[in-house]
A and B are shown apart, each in its own frame.
Chain A
Amino acid sequence: MSLVLKNIGLTINGKTLIENINLTVTPGEVLAILGPNGAGKSTVFKVMAGEYRHFSGAMTINGQTYQGYSSNRRAKMIGVLPQSSELAFPFSAYEVVMLGRLPHSTGRKKDHQIAVAAMQQLDVLKLADALYPALSGGEKQRVQLARVLCQIWQAANANLDAENRYLLLDEPTSALDLSHQHQTLSLARELAASGMGVLCILHDLNLAAQYADKILMLSAGKVMSQGSVSEVLTSERIARLYGIDVTVIPHPKHNHPLVITG
């Protein structure tokens, strides 16, 4: 039971953006996608998020083909956090978070409880009445993440609703300060530990080293290598991917690699 891409390719206007992509998002794990700009990270992400319909290859969610689900049911299983979300209308932060309950019909009271819990989790409850357009970039990002969390929240009746859920994050830390970067990725880790499958596009190799279980390296639309963090994060591979020299040493405190440029 996982989110699986098999030989996925996408060609738009005669230009091949990605080809032969094979990857698996496993519940309980965080998969980080690394790669230079233009490698196709966002394209892979958008295919999984349902933005492109005309991809080749097969995508399955929990054993069933992607197309076999209704869009509503898919929305309850896959939450997507886009890179940035602008909103021209003055919704309050609370109202934005409540939008995450759209695919559900659990009633206003339940929705409210889940929204409040999600906002607490993301440390944005104190912003509940603030207008979204007036928030800082980092605050917006956390409010959006609270919204996505609301969307794929495990329902109270676990027997009826026991499907595995997936969280897709496109550079979730790009607008965040150091402490919120770690807070967000720890939350992603905790969500994975609670049984969610998490996929995350990252640029910071050390954040990937610290929080991911597996890493997939994309280069020129193809998978360059994938595997566990220690297998993939080697100085040769990083040099091949980004074209710069790095030194990889064991982290002095934790049990994962540390990447130093130079």
Chain B
Amino acid sequence: MPFQLTVMTEATLLYSNPKALRIKWSLICLVAALIVALIVSVGIGPMHISMFDAVSVVLSKLGLVESQVSMAMQNIIQSIRLPRSILGMLVGAALAVSGAAMQGLFRNPLADPGLIGVTGGASLAAVLLIVLGGTSLGFLFDIFGEYTLMIAAFGGAFLTTMLVAKVATTQFGTSITSMLLAGIAIGIVTGAAVGLLTFMADDGQLRTLTFWSMGSLGGATWSTVLAAGSLIIIPLICIPMHAKNLNALLLGESEARHLGVDVEKVKRQIILLTAIGVGAAVAVSGMIGFVGLIVPHIVRLGLGPDHRYLLPISAGLGALFLLIADMISRTIIAPAELPIGLITTIIGGPFFITMVIYRARSNSL
């Protein structure tokens, strides 16, 4: 007797995915929180600016209203605080999306750009340029101008990701242990190289190097926002286009191939895109750790691992996370500033340890 598979038109009555509503509300809340945090962050600092004034300045710059706020305040907002907040959002989004994509690619939630050495590689390349840029590598600045640091950091990030992927991938798939160990090794080597360069650096360079090792958004101007933004926008748009492929990859590489995914191509592109994101982020803000680990993990706890939602919502939450961390960094020891990388590490370190303990208990590391 011929067997007919029948599709119920009333399938939604039998089952409907409970996550759909949760995802919609998460998005709405996230956008609202981002807007509020942006306004608040513009108001916070040595000169207090009320939320109302902050909004009116931004609206007046867009030519929508006539602002009554003093010129000094307008200048602070326009040339210091707004670019800084926007840079923070860009960096946070880039790190979170890159982290989420790497975790999907390596099929392990512990694959953070910082932990597997990618940030270290990017940082070493940038530090190399800072210390030797005045002398032997100076010609690079003549060629690439404002983008030199970013291109160097991208190159460092790309090379380390390739290296880690090469070391960790055998014919039997990606070994998570090798990946983490390779990452640690690369982290040690790049750390030592940075240390060596620190010895060669002069006083001015040393100040810049401190900024690298602990991370800061302090140097933000509209031109850094534009330069970093023009690069970061690429992974922010292109990585989510791979969402379905990353979902299939979670099943395993063979399974993804059976589903028609060109696995090698997807891998190459994700590595390239995350290197652009991490490289650009490191170039403008130094080492800001754990964003790529914490943010996607929280999103997964709430919404599950589907990259179609995970990637955009991680981007938003990453932006929010860094915006808040930057507000803390500017206020906690005011008028001085605590490096933002310290804050994310203080939050991220214990978080990471908790994840490791939990995974060790459930035997899934």
The residues of A with any CB-CB pair to B shorter than 8 Å are 49-51, 70-76, 78-80, 82, 85-92, 94-96, 99-100, 102-103, 110, 112-121, 125, 128-129, 133, 149, 151, 153-154, 156, 190-191, 193-194
Contacts and interface: CB of A to CB of B under 8 A. Distances in A.
A50 B304 contact: no
Interface of B: 1-9, 11-12, 14-15, 17-19, 107-109, 244, 247-248, 250-252, 254-255, 257-262, 300, 304-306, 364
20 contacts: A49-B254, A70-B260, A71-B262, A72-B260, A74-B260, A76-B260, A82-B254, A87-B250, A88-B107, A89-B250, A91-B305, A92-B19, A117-B5, A117-B6, A128-B15, A129-B18, A154-B5, A156-B7, A193-B3, A194-B2
Contacts of B260: 70-76, 102-103
A152 B108 CA distance: 29
Contacts of A89: 107, 109, 250, 300, 305
A153 B3 CA distance: 13
A153 B5 contact: yes
A113 B1 contact: no
Nearest to A79: B258
A50 B258 contact: yes
A250 to B, nearest CB: 24
B17 A94 contact: yes
A74 to B, nearest CB: 7
Contact of B259 (A91, A94, A151): A151
B48 to A, nearest CB: 44
Which of A75, A100, A149 is the most central at the interface, judged by chain B CB atoms within 10 Å of its CB?
Answer: A75
A191 B247 contact: no
Given A80-B258, A95-B304, A99-B248, A194 B7 contact: no
A247 to B, nearest CB: 33
A102 B308 CA distance: 12
Contact of A116 (B8, B250, B259): B8
A193 B2 contact: yes
Contacts of A121: 5
Which of B4, B15, B258, B259 is the most central at the interface, judged by chain A CB atoms within 10 Å of its CB?
Answer: B258
Which of A76, A99, A110 is the most central at the interface, judged by chain B CB atoms within 10 Å of its CB?
Answer: A99
Contact of B251 (A76, A87, A94, A128): A87
Nearest to A110: B7
B306 A95 contact: yes
A82 B3 contact: no
Nearest to A133: B364
B258 A90 contact: no
B102 to A, nearest CB: 13
Contacts of B251: 85, 87, 96, 99
B259 A103 contact: yes
B250 A117 contact: no
Given A116-B8, A128-B15, A102 B252 contact: no
Contacts of A116: 8, 11, 14-15
Contacts of A156: 7
A92 to B, nearest CB: 7
A76 B260 CA distance: 8
B12 A112 contact: yes
B1 A193 contact: yes
Which of B15, B109, B251 is the most central at the interface, judged by chain A CB atoms within 10 Å of its CB?
Answer: B251
Nearest to A120: B14
A101 B306 CA distance: 14
Contacts of A73: 260
A91 B255 CA distance: 15
A86 B252 contact: yes
Contacts of B9: 113
Given A82-B252, A88-B250, 13 more contacts: A49-B257, A50-B257, A71-B261, A72-B260, A75-B260, A86-B252, A99-B259, A102-B244, A110-B7, A117-B6, A120-B8, A125-B15, A194-B3
Nearest to B364: A88
Contacts of A90: 300, 304-305
A205 to B, nearest CB: 25
A88 B109 CA distance: 8
B21 to A, nearest CB: 14
Contacts of A96: 251
A99 B300 CA distance: 17
A190 B3 CA distance: 6
Given A121-B5, A125-B14, A129-B18, A51 B248 contact: no
Contact of B261 (A76, A79, A100, A102): A102
Which of B11, B17, B18, B261 is the most central at the interface, judged by chain A CB atoms within 10 Å of its CB?
Answer: B11
A156 to B, nearest CB: 7
Contacts of B247: 99, 102
A88 B7 contact: no
Nearest to A114: B7
Contacts of A194: 2-5
A125 B11 CA distance: 11
A86 B108 CA distance: 12
Contacts of A94: 15, 17
B15 to A, nearest CB: 5
Contacts of A193: 1-3
Contacts of B262: 71
A176 to B, nearest CB: 19
A216 B306 CA distance: 40
A102 B254 CA distance: 14
Nearest to B310: A89
A78 B258 contact: yes
A110 B107 CA distance: 29
